[in-house]
């Protein structure tokens, strides 16, 4: 090791990166040809440069991989969000609400009136009426117009009147509201004077007697 070696060793990093002048380059080349110490130093520098380059590549790969994972996660979250939005939208977009046709939905069979031992009169909707063609019947009480004593009944004021609207639902929505036997209490026959319970069909402007006081 001498003074020349110190100068050459200062130049070696530049030489390794191929960044020194032609004169320096030649001087270094001549020196390392005959100096083992500087040759070894150059080998070490070359190895370090290779490792540095390797770790740069692996970091780049890691960043790329992370970006890919983020892309996949964002895609999955987006798909789940869109599917959820569609699932909720079906209840508002597909469901419709309109007057229930007495003949078409065979309400004579599926809607009954029962009086229990306490005299309470119940309006009973059978399974059939609530599941048929995915229609869901709803007793209507719009400002008392369609249900009660002041409703549609033009001929007999002594009747309690009911009518149904139906909500058309799709198969998925039916899972949320399965067809059931539904019982709705209307009034106590010992407390009210009604002689009839009538069903009114808006579609045909027809009244049907569901119950008549015996
Ligand atoms: Zn040397």
Q: Report whether pLDDT(69) > 80.
A: yes
Q: What is the pLDDT of residue 83?
A: 93
Q: Report whether pLDDT(14) > 70.
A: yes
Q: Report whether pLDDT(127) > 50.
A: yes
Give residue 45 CA to ligand 1 midpoint distance, Å.
14
Average pLDDT over residues 52-68: 87
Give residue 134 CA to ligand 1 midpoint distance, Å.
93
Give residue 4 CA to ligand 1 midpoint distance, Å.
6
Give residue 163 CA to ligand 1 midpoint distance, Å.
107
92-115 tens-digit pLDDT = 665 566 777 888 877 888 788 999
Average pLDDT over residues 148-154: 66
- The percent of residues in the chain predicted with pLDDT above 70, rounded, is 74
Q: How many CB atoms lie within 10 A of CB 95?
A: 14
Give residue 36 CA to ligand 1 midpoint distance, Å.
7
Q: What is the pTM of this model?
A: 0.49
Average pLDDT over residues 54-78: 90
Among the listed ranges 70-79, 131-140, 149-158, 179-188, which one has the minimum average pLDDT value? 131-140
Give residue 30 CA to ligand 1 midpoint distance, Å.
10
Among the listed ranges 16-20, 114-118, 162-166, 189-193, which one has the minimum average pLDDT value? 162-166
Give residue 12 CA to ligand 1 midpoint distance, Å.
10
User: pLDDT grade, residue 26 (50/70/90)?
Assistant: very high
SS3 202: coil
Q: What is the pLDDT of residue 169?
A: 58
As residues whose CB is below 5 A from the ion ligand 1, the structure lists 5, 35, 37-38
Give residue 50 CA to ligand 1 midpoint distance, Å.
22
Q: What is the pLDDT of residue 140?
A: 65
Give residue 5 CA to ligand 1 midpoint distance, Å.
4
User: pLDDT grade, residue 132 (50/70/90)?
Assistant: very low
Give residue 10 CA to ligand 1 midpoint distance, Å.
11
Give residue 26 CA to ligand 1 midpoint distance, Å.
14
Task: Establish how many alpha carbons lie within 13 A of residue 73's alpha carbon, considering only the half-sphere containing its beta carbon.
Answer: 6
Rounded Cα distance between 212 and 113, Å, is: 10
Q: Report whether pLDDT(177) > 60.
A: no
Average pLDDT over residues 197-204: 85
Q: What is the pLDDT of residue 171?
A: 53
The set of long-range contacts for 102-111, using a CB threshold of 8 Å and a minimum separation of 24, is 102/199, 102/201, 102/203, 102/204, 102/206, 102/208, 103/201, 103/204, 105/129, 105/132, 105/135, 105/137, 105/166, 106/132, 107/164, 107/199, 107/208, 108/208, 111/137, 111/164, 111/199, 111/210
Give residue 25 CA to ligand 1 midpoint distance, Å.
14
Give residue 115 CA to ligand 1 midpoint distance, Å.
115
Residue indicated by tokens 């970091």: 59
């Amino acid at each position: 090791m001498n003074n020349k070696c110190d100068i050459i060793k200062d130049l070696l990093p530049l030489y390794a990166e191929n960044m020194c002048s032609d004169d320096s380059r030649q001087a270094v080349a001549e020196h390392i040809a005959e100096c083992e110490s500087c040759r070894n130093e150059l080998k070490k520098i070359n190895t370090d440069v290779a490792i540095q380059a390797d770790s740069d590549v692996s970091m780049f790969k890691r960043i790329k991989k992370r970006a890919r994972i983020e892309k996949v996660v964002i895609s999955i979250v987006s798909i789940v969000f869109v599917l959820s939005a569609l699932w909720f939208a079906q209840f508002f977009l597909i469901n419709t609400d309109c007057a229930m046709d007495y003949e078409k939905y065979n309400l004579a069979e599926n809607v009954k009136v029962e009086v229990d031992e306490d005299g309470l009169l119940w309006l009973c909707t059978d399974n059939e009426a609530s599941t048929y063609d995915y229609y869901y019947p709803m007793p209507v009480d719009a400002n008392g117009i369609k249900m009660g004593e002041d409703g549609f009944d033009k001929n007999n004021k002594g009747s309690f009147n009911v009518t149904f609207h139906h909500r058309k639902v799709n198969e998925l929505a039916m899972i949320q509201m399965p067809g059931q036997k539904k019982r709705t209490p209307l009034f106590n026959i010992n407390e009210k004077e009604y002689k009839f319970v009538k069903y009114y069909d808006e579609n045909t402007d027809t009244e049907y007697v569901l119950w008549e006081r015996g």
